[in-house]
Amino acid sequence: MTTTTKNKKAIVSLDAEVYSKEGKKVSDFSLPEEVFGLNWNADLVHQVITSLQTDARHPYAHAKTRGEVSGGGKKPWRQKGTGRARHGSTRSPIWVGGGVAHGPNKEKNFDRKVNKKTKNTAIKTIISQKHRDGEVLLVDTLAFAAPKTTEMKKILSNLSKINDSLTKFATKKHNTALFITNAQDKNLYLSLRNFGNIETQSVADVNAIILSKYKYLVFIEPTASINTLKDRLNNNK
């Protein structure tokens, strides 16, 4: 239950429950406040997400300028006495076959610098908000001896029955859940690969974009994965 004080600072319980793949409670877990207890900051999250999106942008469109097109080194005709307008080069943008003025350039740099501390704070902010909305789930283990899509489907059905806020595990068709593991798990990845609405990531790879894309966050082996994430986000160097 979320309450609000006079200064509008959200106070949220950091006590969470860990569930088995059968959807049954197995233990309690205390969430670290520095990761799950931050207030929402829309401006900071927007700044980081747009920065990551522009950093990933690779322009391909390119129009040659007057300095890149061939020909036109010689003045087409003398300056005066011909009755025609003055021209110094056929590479001018007003000539057919000349360069393009203000056209797209593949060398343009869209990067926006955002320091590491700000990026880490955005990750904490998104996770904190999802925790307040009841969209964070802790699962003790999801170990597979071999990739099993049918078994994974049963597990997702079990998780959707834990409480009313998780029912969309079984009904939401797009961007349903992000499974976060302490390290890359090939069998888990292959078991989830056929579900187009679910993705798996290690704590070393999560960022603000992937966290905001999916409705639910599922931490596998929370003792290891959340502690590793906390150490990563607190290291701003």
pLDDT digits (tens, 9 = 90+) for 42-67: 999 999 999 999 988 889 999 999 99
pLDDT digits (tens, 9 = 90+) for 184-202: 888 888 888 888 889 999 9
Structure letter (DSSP) for residue 227: H
The whole-angstrom separation of Cα 58 and Cα 50 is 14
Report the residue count for the chain.
237
Domain that holds residue 65: 59-109
Q: Are 220 and 142 in contact (CB under 8 A)?
A: yes
9 with 91, same domain?
no
Q: Are 25 and 18 in contact (CB under 8 A)?
A: yes
200 with 96, same domain?
no
What's the token pair of residue 16?
Answer: 């969470």
134's torsion region: left (phi>0), alpha (psi -120 to 50) or beta?
A: left
Cα of first residue to Cα of last residue in the chain, in angstroms, is 35
50 with 141, same domain?
yes
Q: What is the CATH number of the domain that holds 225?
A: 3.40.1370.10
The neighbouring-strand residues paired with 216 are 177
pLDDT digits (tens, 9 = 90+) for 75-111: 999 999 999 999 999 999 999 999 999 999 999 888 8
23 with 97, same domain?
no
The whole-angstrom separation of Cα 151 and Cα 147 is 9
208 with 171, same domain?
yes
149 with 46, same domain?
yes
180 with 206, same domain?
yes
Number of structural domains the chain divides into = 2
Phi, psi for 155 (deg, rounded to 5):
-65, -45
